[in-house]
Amino acid sequence: MSTPETNAGPATPPKASRRGPATPFAPPPERNPLDRRVHAAIARATASVSPIALLLATVDWAGHLAVSPGKRMELADLGLEQGRRLLRYAQAIASSPPGSPAHDCIEPPAQDRRFKAPEWHTWPFNLMHQSFLLAQEWWDAATHGVAGVSRHHEQVVSFAARQLLDMFSPGNFLPTNPVVLRHTLASGGINLARGAVHALEDLGRTLTGAPPAGAENFVVGRDVAVTPGKVVLRNGLIELIQYAPTTATVHPEPVLIVPAWIMKYYILDLSPHNSLVKYLVSQGHTVFCISWKNPGVDERDLDMDDYLELGFHAALEAINAIVPGQKVHATGYCLGGTLLAIAAAAMERDGDDRLATMTLFTAQTDFTEPGELALFIDESEVSLLEAQMAETGFLTAGQMAGAFQILRSNDLLWSRIVGEYLMGERAPMSDLMAWNADATRMPARMHGQYLRRLFLNDDLSEGRYPVGGKPVSLSDIDVPVFCVATQTDHVAPWRSVYKLHYLTPTEITFVLTSGGHNAGIVSEPGHPRREYQIQTRPAGDNYVPPDDWVRRSPRYEGSWWPAWSTWLAARSSAPATPPALGAPERGYPTLEDAPGRYVHEK
């Protein structure tokens, strides 16, 4: 591992002092070098999607469908009924006066905006898109409810069928998209020429590793991540940033933010108008935030224990030295929240009471229903990933981005192709989009452990996840918890996040906010069309199922940020004089201005 300038100081003990005995994690058996090379080659050729996993899912589905005559009869009946609906629709079109729309025979799903334009209700495009939606409905029925098919295989086959259908949507092609055709005729084909230029430019940027067009307007440290602060700790894995106060007094208990290491930390410090860090500072909180190193080959052997030790614990010990005698409001985002939950459980087990509260943003602690991301996580997929990472030493940023793009192909792939390459219109770059393109890598060993321990084995929720050689239990956590989930999260579905309610009896204030995994968190006051529900379950109270929680919880317009700030303030002491930046006398001098070095690593 590389050894950049550090100031671990006296508060950072040797790694072995906290780890205890070796972690009882059984890695996958050492595979034959030839097998590993073949598996890595397969992973490169298939974008890390296991063809064996797809084949097994298809055989499971097709085999059980073959021996289910009743299901096949149902599908045949559905096909005939759809044919009759489409025929009646075609007859209504033919008999209606020109320009008079016929009543659709099928409505698109609420989240499907591909056919909203009025041009889609003119002949022959109305017949095209209605036929497509009927085919989509039939395949959805065909891939669900086949007796005997495992749930995972059902999800894989359904997802694959949806992806293939989306690929051939009439909206993706010039001759069958009336909106693009109208625009092409009106502009004399200029849109196609612009689209070709955009495609060539994007291809060049991809080949050279350059950021997407427009990202140059959001430079880290100039346009985003500009909240004033100092780096007060740097080790081989993190920089810790302490932000400068902007109020005369602050709540004595500081806030520590633990972002996920699959992302750059500055999603929480975007532009000044939507920076959660800046907002917290303005509300009188002393804020510290971890900035993770972007790992390379030298960091290939970092594991989950390193992220706990060199990450969370190193940061906590620095804060204890800079703000002595105060408990900490610990906050974790996504995977950083999972790490925080592990740390909090271990601290409670060991009698460590340095945390005042715990806040989790879109963080899962039970991985039995992790959403569509689980489609890419089974033994076959993980085996291919491990073989590929054994050669590179890390999971590339492109692999992670590609997985998320496939999960939201309509929003992130096909709509972009239509808009930028057929319509010739560049979508304006936003700070959130520029941040999303500034992706990071993950060390091979850590990522393998993370996938196996949490996703495949669900060790954390089942009380098997070890810290310091002994398992931890989330039921030990007794600090108040503020837990935020988002309605349309494709990474951490809100019902999965909600499962924390039956894993720990502590007080939980749960927030369900509009938006997705990232946009729902970057939800500053004044942001249009934002709403949230919030309710507190007292410690030891009865479990309420998630759907009942939705029915019972009050709904509010606007941002959930003020509710969180109020919650933190209610669990903090009376405001006092702000602490100094850093503590040189205790081994934590200020090293440089925020945002530091690690955030710039590519």
Residue type present at position 410: N
In a domain, 83, yes or no: yes
In a domain, 210, yes or no: no
Q: What is the dihedral of CA 498, 504, 508, 511, to 10 degrees?
A: -10
Q: What is the mean pLDDT of residues 185-189?
A: 95
Q: Is the pLDDT of residue 466 over 70?
A: yes
DSSP class of residue 271 equals S
Rounded CA separation 543/502 (Å): 7
30-56 CB burial, b ≥16 within 10 A, e <16: eeeeeebeebbebbeeeebbbeebbeb
- Flag the least confident range among 4-18, 47-61, 504-518: 4-18
Predicted confidence band of residue 320 (pLDDT cuts 50, 70, 90): very high
In a domain, 568, yes or no: no
What confidence score (pLDDT) does residue 43 get? Answer: 86
Rounded CA separation 355/330 (Å): 7
Q: Is the pLDDT of residue 36 over 90?
A: no
Predicted confidence band of residue 29 (pLDDT cuts 50, 70, 90): low
Q: Is the pLDDT of residue 8 over 50?
A: no
Residue corresponding to tokens 């902007």: 246
What confidence score (pLDDT) does residue 45 get? Answer: 87
Cβ atoms 494, 487 nearer than 8 A: yes
Rounded CA separation 567/508 (Å): 11
Residue type present at position 360: L
Number of domains within the chain: 1
In a domain, 395, yes or no: no
Rounded CA separation 568/250 (Å): 12
- pTM greater than 0.85 (yes/no): yes
Listed as own residue / partner, the contacts of 390-393 with beta carbons closer than 8 Å and 24 or more positions apart are 390/36, 390/40, 390/444, 391/36, 391/37, 391/40, 392/297, 392/444, 393/296, 393/297, 393/299, 393/300, 393/443, 393/444
302 forms beta bridges with none
Residue type present at position 120: W
Q: What is the mean pLDDT of residues 254-267?
A: 96
> For 119-128, what is each residue's pLDDT tens digit?
999 999 999 9
Contacts of 444 (CB under 8 A, 6+ apart): 300, 301, 386, 389, 390, 392, 393, 394, 395
533 forms beta bridges with 512, 555
104: containing domain: 69-145
Q: Is the pLDDT of residue 31 over 80?
A: no
574 forms beta bridges with none
Please tell me whether residue 354 adopts helix, strand or coil conformation. coil
DSSP per residue over 256-269, as a string? EEE--TTS-GGGGS
Q: Is the pLDDT of residue 58 over 70?
A: yes
In a domain, 126, yes or no: yes
- Flag the least confident range among 141-145, 414-418, 563-567: 414-418
Rounded CA separation 54/63 (Å): 14
DSSP class of residue 450 equals I
In a domain, 94, yes or no: yes
In a domain, 8, yes or no: no
Cβ atoms 520, 512 nearer than 8 A: no
Predicted confidence band of residue 28 (pLDDT cuts 50, 70, 90): low
In a domain, 467, yes or no: no
Overall residue count recorded for the chain in this entry:
602
- Flag the least confident range among 27-41, 444-458, 538-552: 27-41
Q: Is the pLDDT of residue 188 over 50?
A: yes
Average pLDDT over all residues of the chain: 91
Predicted confidence band of residue 564 (pLDDT cuts 50, 70, 90): very high
What confidence score (pLDDT) does residue 13 get? Answer: 35
- Flag the least confident range among 94-108, 222-236, 439-453: 94-108
Cβ atoms 487, 520 nearer than 8 A: yes
Predicted confidence band of residue 4 (pLDDT cuts 50, 70, 90): very low
Q: How do the residues of the chain divide into helix, strand and coil, expressed in percent and rounded to 5?
A: 50, 15, 40
Which residues are known catalytic residues? 334
Percent pLDDT > 90 in the chain is: 76
Query: pLDDT higher for 376 or 204?
Result: 204
> For 209-231, what is each residue's pLDDT tens digit?
888 899 999 999 999 999 999 99
Rounded CA separation 301/444 (Å): 7
Percent pLDDT > 70 in the chain is: 91
- Flag the least confident range among 39-48, 306-315, 405-414, 522-531: 405-414
Cβ atoms 57, 77 nearer than 8 A: no
Residue corresponding to tokens 């005995």: 21
Going from the C-alpha of 199 to that of each of 39, 283, 302, 572, the distances in angstroms are 32, 45, 38, 53
